[in-house]
Amino acid sequence: MNAASIDTGHAGHMDAIYRSQRHIYDLTRKYYLLGRDALIDGIAPPPGGSVLEIGCGTGRNLIAAARRWPDARFYGIDISEAMLQTARAKVAKAGLSDRIVLAQGDATAFNAETLFGTATFDRIFQSYTLSMIPGWHEAIREAAVKLAPAGRLDVVDFGQQEGLPGAFKTLLFAWLAKFDVAPRAALQPALIEIASEIGGTPQFTALYRGYAWSGRITRGAA
Protein backbone atom coordinates (compact mmCIF):
# COMPACT_ATOMS: atom_id res chain seq x y z
CA MET A 1 0.00 0.00 0.00
CA ASN A 2 1.31 3.41 -0.87
CA ALA A 3 0.52 6.69 0.82
CA ALA A 4 -2.19 7.49 -1.72
CA SER A 5 -4.30 4.52 -0.59
CA ILE A 6 -4.27 5.51 3.08
CA ASP A 7 -7.31 7.22 4.56
CA THR A 8 -5.62 10.60 4.76
CA GLY A 9 -8.44 12.12 6.79
CA HIS A 10 -8.12 9.54 9.54
CA ALA A 11 -4.33 9.66 9.32
CA GLY A 12 -4.35 13.42 9.77
CA HIS A 13 -6.77 13.16 12.68
CA MET A 14 -4.52 10.63 14.44
CA ASP A 15 -1.47 12.81 13.80
CA ALA A 16 -3.29 15.77 15.34
CA ILE A 17 -4.14 13.76 18.46
CA TYR A 18 -0.70 12.26 18.95
CA ARG A 19 1.70 14.86 17.59
CA SER A 20 2.32 16.05 21.15
CA GLN A 21 1.01 13.09 23.14
CA ARG A 22 3.43 10.63 21.53
CA HIS A 23 6.23 12.05 23.67
CA ILE A 24 4.50 11.01 26.92
CA TYR A 25 2.28 8.23 25.56
CA ASP A 26 4.16 5.24 27.00
CA LEU A 27 4.65 6.86 30.39
CA THR A 28 0.95 7.60 30.86
CA ARG A 29 -0.68 4.62 29.14
CA LYS A 30 1.09 1.93 31.18
CA TYR A 31 -1.33 2.59 34.05
CA TYR A 32 -4.54 1.79 32.19
CA LEU A 33 -3.84 -0.17 28.99
CA LEU A 34 -4.09 -3.43 30.89
CA GLY A 35 -3.47 -6.82 29.32
CA ARG A 36 -0.83 -5.76 26.80
CA ASP A 37 2.08 -7.55 28.43
CA ALA A 38 0.10 -10.74 28.95
CA LEU A 39 -0.71 -10.70 25.23
CA ILE A 40 2.99 -10.30 24.37
CA ASP A 41 3.99 -13.11 26.73
CA GLY A 42 1.48 -15.40 25.04
CA ILE A 43 2.35 -14.69 21.41
CA ALA A 44 4.77 -17.65 21.25
CA PRO A 45 5.67 -17.43 17.55
CA PRO A 46 7.28 -20.49 15.94
CA PRO A 47 11.09 -20.39 15.60
CA GLY A 48 11.93 -17.94 12.83
CA GLY A 49 8.28 -16.90 12.67
CA SER A 50 6.83 -13.55 11.67
CA VAL A 51 4.83 -11.24 13.94
CA LEU A 52 2.86 -8.17 12.84
CA GLU A 53 1.44 -5.50 15.11
CA ILE A 54 -1.38 -3.50 13.56
CA GLY A 55 -1.51 -0.05 15.14
CA CYS A 56 2.01 -0.18 16.54
CA GLY A 57 1.99 3.39 17.87
CA THR A 58 5.26 4.29 19.57
CA GLY A 59 6.76 0.82 19.04
CA ARG A 60 6.58 -0.02 22.74
CA ASN A 61 4.86 -3.38 22.24
CA LEU A 62 7.05 -4.43 19.33
CA ILE A 63 10.22 -3.71 21.28
CA ALA A 64 8.94 -5.72 24.26
CA ALA A 65 7.87 -8.58 21.98
CA ALA A 66 11.18 -8.63 20.09
CA ARG A 67 13.06 -8.90 23.38
CA ARG A 68 10.69 -11.57 24.65
CA TRP A 69 10.87 -13.64 21.43
CA PRO A 70 14.39 -13.17 20.00
CA ASP A 71 14.02 -15.78 17.23
CA ALA A 72 11.10 -14.08 15.50
CA ARG A 73 10.87 -11.32 12.88
CA PHE A 74 8.69 -8.33 13.72
CA TYR A 75 6.70 -5.87 11.64
CA GLY A 76 4.48 -2.93 12.53
CA ILE A 77 2.07 -0.60 10.78
CA ASP A 78 0.39 2.56 11.96
CA ILE A 79 -1.69 5.12 10.14
CA SER A 80 -0.05 7.99 12.05
CA GLU A 81 3.26 9.14 10.64
CA ALA A 82 3.82 11.16 13.83
CA MET A 83 3.62 7.98 15.91
CA LEU A 84 5.91 6.17 13.47
CA GLN A 85 8.55 8.87 13.88
CA THR A 86 8.62 8.09 17.59
CA ALA A 87 8.53 4.34 16.96
CA ARG A 88 11.49 4.45 14.56
CA ALA A 89 13.56 6.40 17.07
CA LYS A 90 12.69 4.02 19.92
CA VAL A 91 13.42 0.92 17.83
CA ALA A 92 16.79 2.34 16.78
CA LYS A 93 17.66 3.30 20.36
CA ALA A 94 16.80 -0.25 21.46
CA GLY A 95 19.18 -1.63 18.83
CA LEU A 96 16.40 -3.57 17.12
CA SER A 97 16.24 -1.94 13.70
CA ASP A 98 17.47 -5.17 12.12
CA ARG A 99 14.55 -7.15 13.58
CA ILE A 100 11.66 -4.68 13.55
CA VAL A 101 10.38 -3.20 10.27
CA LEU A 102 7.89 -0.32 10.39
CA ALA A 103 5.64 1.14 7.71
CA GLN A 104 2.70 3.48 7.39
CA GLY A 105 -0.50 1.63 6.62
CA ASP A 106 -4.25 1.66 7.15
CA ALA A 107 -5.42 -1.18 9.41
CA THR A 108 -8.57 -1.64 7.32
CA ALA A 109 -6.76 -2.21 3.99
CA PHE A 110 -3.03 -2.64 3.44
CA ASN A 111 -0.78 -4.59 1.12
CA ALA A 112 1.63 -6.50 3.33
CA GLU A 113 3.56 -7.86 0.36
CA THR A 114 4.29 -4.33 -0.85
CA LEU A 115 5.12 -2.99 2.60
CA PHE A 116 7.15 -5.88 3.97
CA GLY A 117 7.76 -8.41 1.23
CA THR A 118 5.59 -11.01 2.95
CA ALA A 119 1.86 -11.59 2.50
CA THR A 120 1.06 -13.56 5.66
CA PHE A 121 2.21 -13.75 9.27
CA ASP A 122 2.38 -16.42 11.95
CA ARG A 123 1.15 -14.03 14.60
CA ILE A 124 -0.74 -10.73 14.35
CA PHE A 125 -1.83 -8.60 17.27
CA GLN A 126 -3.91 -5.48 17.84
CA SER A 127 -3.51 -3.85 21.24
CA TYR A 128 -5.92 -1.06 22.17
CA THR A 129 -6.33 -0.07 18.52
CA LEU A 130 -9.79 -1.34 17.56
CA SER A 131 -11.42 1.19 19.89
CA MET A 132 -9.81 3.96 17.82
CA ILE A 133 -10.46 2.64 14.31
CA PRO A 134 -13.79 3.69 12.75
CA GLY A 135 -13.83 0.62 10.50
CA TRP A 136 -12.82 -1.76 13.26
CA HIS A 137 -14.68 -4.76 11.79
CA GLU A 138 -12.65 -4.35 8.63
CA ALA A 139 -9.46 -4.06 10.68
CA ILE A 140 -10.12 -7.45 12.29
CA ARG A 141 -11.02 -9.00 8.94
CA GLU A 142 -7.93 -7.55 7.25
CA ALA A 143 -5.74 -9.05 9.96
CA ALA A 144 -7.48 -12.43 9.88
CA VAL A 145 -7.02 -12.93 6.14
CA LYS A 146 -3.31 -12.21 6.51
CA LEU A 147 -2.75 -15.10 8.93
CA ALA A 148 -0.52 -17.91 7.72
CA PRO A 149 -1.86 -21.48 8.09
CA ALA A 150 -2.14 -22.22 11.83
CA GLY A 151 -1.50 -18.51 12.43
CA ARG A 152 -3.15 -16.55 15.21
CA LEU A 153 -4.61 -13.10 15.71
CA ASP A 154 -4.68 -11.74 19.28
CA VAL A 155 -6.50 -8.59 20.35
CA VAL A 156 -6.85 -6.76 23.63
CA ASP A 157 -8.86 -3.60 24.18
CA PHE A 158 -11.23 -1.86 26.54
CA GLY A 159 -14.18 -3.98 27.62
CA GLN A 160 -17.62 -2.84 28.73
CA GLN A 161 -16.68 -2.63 32.44
CA GLU A 162 -19.45 -5.15 33.09
CA GLY A 163 -18.11 -6.24 36.48
CA LEU A 164 -17.29 -2.75 37.71
CA PRO A 165 -19.49 0.00 39.21
CA GLY A 166 -21.68 1.84 36.72
CA ALA A 167 -20.27 5.21 37.77
CA PHE A 168 -16.76 4.00 36.89
CA LYS A 169 -17.90 3.01 33.39
CA THR A 170 -19.63 6.36 32.87
CA LEU A 171 -16.55 8.33 33.89
CA LEU A 172 -14.13 6.14 31.94
CA PHE A 173 -16.16 6.20 28.72
CA ALA A 174 -16.59 9.97 28.93
CA TRP A 175 -12.85 10.42 29.39
CA LEU A 176 -12.01 8.02 26.55
CA ALA A 177 -14.42 9.85 24.22
CA LYS A 178 -12.26 12.96 24.53
CA PHE A 179 -9.58 11.01 22.62
CA ASP A 180 -12.04 9.47 20.13
CA VAL A 181 -11.75 6.09 21.87
CA ALA A 182 -14.92 3.97 21.76
CA PRO A 183 -14.83 0.51 23.40
CA ARG A 184 -16.45 -2.01 21.04
CA ALA A 185 -19.43 -3.72 22.67
CA ALA A 186 -19.78 -6.06 19.67
CA LEU A 187 -16.20 -7.33 19.74
CA GLN A 188 -17.06 -10.91 20.65
CA PRO A 189 -19.66 -11.50 17.89
CA ALA A 190 -17.32 -9.82 15.39
CA LEU A 191 -14.54 -12.26 16.28
CA ILE A 192 -16.93 -15.20 15.95
CA GLU A 193 -18.18 -13.98 12.55
CA ILE A 194 -14.75 -13.33 11.09
CA ALA A 195 -13.29 -16.56 12.45
CA SER A 196 -16.07 -18.42 10.64
CA GLU A 197 -15.27 -16.61 7.39
CA ILE A 198 -11.67 -17.91 7.38
CA GLY A 199 -12.39 -21.32 8.85
CA GLY A 200 -10.78 -20.31 12.13
CA THR A 201 -11.54 -20.77 15.81
CA PRO A 202 -12.48 -17.79 18.02
CA GLN A 203 -11.77 -17.30 21.71
CA PHE A 204 -12.88 -14.51 24.01
CA THR A 205 -12.05 -13.63 27.62
CA ALA A 206 -13.08 -10.76 29.89
CA LEU A 207 -10.18 -9.44 31.97
CA TYR A 208 -10.17 -7.51 35.24
CA ARG A 209 -13.95 -7.72 35.73
CA GLY A 210 -14.53 -6.56 32.18
CA TYR A 211 -12.18 -3.59 32.28
CA ALA A 212 -10.45 -5.15 29.27
CA TRP A 213 -11.45 -7.81 26.76
CA SER A 214 -9.08 -10.28 25.13
CA GLY A 215 -9.90 -12.07 21.90
CA ARG A 216 -8.26 -14.52 19.55
CA ILE A 217 -8.75 -16.06 16.12
CA THR A 218 -6.70 -19.14 15.28
CA ARG A 219 -6.56 -20.11 11.63
CA GLY A 220 -6.70 -23.75 10.65
CA ALA A 221 -3.64 -25.56 9.33
CA ALA A 222 -3.29 -25.85 5.55
Sorted by where each begins, the domain ranges of the chain are: 3-218
| Residue 12 DSSP SS3 | helix
Under a CB-based contact definition with an 8 Å cutoff, are residues 43 and 70 in contact? no
- 27 pLDDT exceeds 50? no
Report pLDDT for 25.
46
Report pLDDT for 179.
87
Alpha carbon distance 88, 138 (integer Å): 26
pLDDT band of residue 10 (cuts 50, 70, 90) is low
Question: Between helices 81-93 and 60-68, what is the axis angle to 10°?
Answer: 30
Average pLDDT over residues 14-26: 50
Flag whether the pTM goes above 0.85: yes
Report pLDDT for 222.
72
Under a CB-based contact definition with an 8 Å cutoff, are residues 126 and 95 in contact? no
Q: pLDDT tens-digit profile of 159-215?
A: 999 999 999 999 999 999 988 999 999 999 999 999 999 999 999 999 999 999 999
Q: pLDDT tens-digit profile of 41-54?
A: 999 999 999 999 99
Average pLDDT of the chain to the nearest whole number: 90
Report pLDDT for 5.
58
Q: Of the candidates 213, 95, 105, 196, which has an alpha carbon nearest to the alpha carbon of residue 154?
A: 213
Percent of the chain with pLDDT over 70: 86
Q: 3-218 belongs to which homologous superfamily?
A: Vaccinia Virus protein VP39 (3.40.50.150)
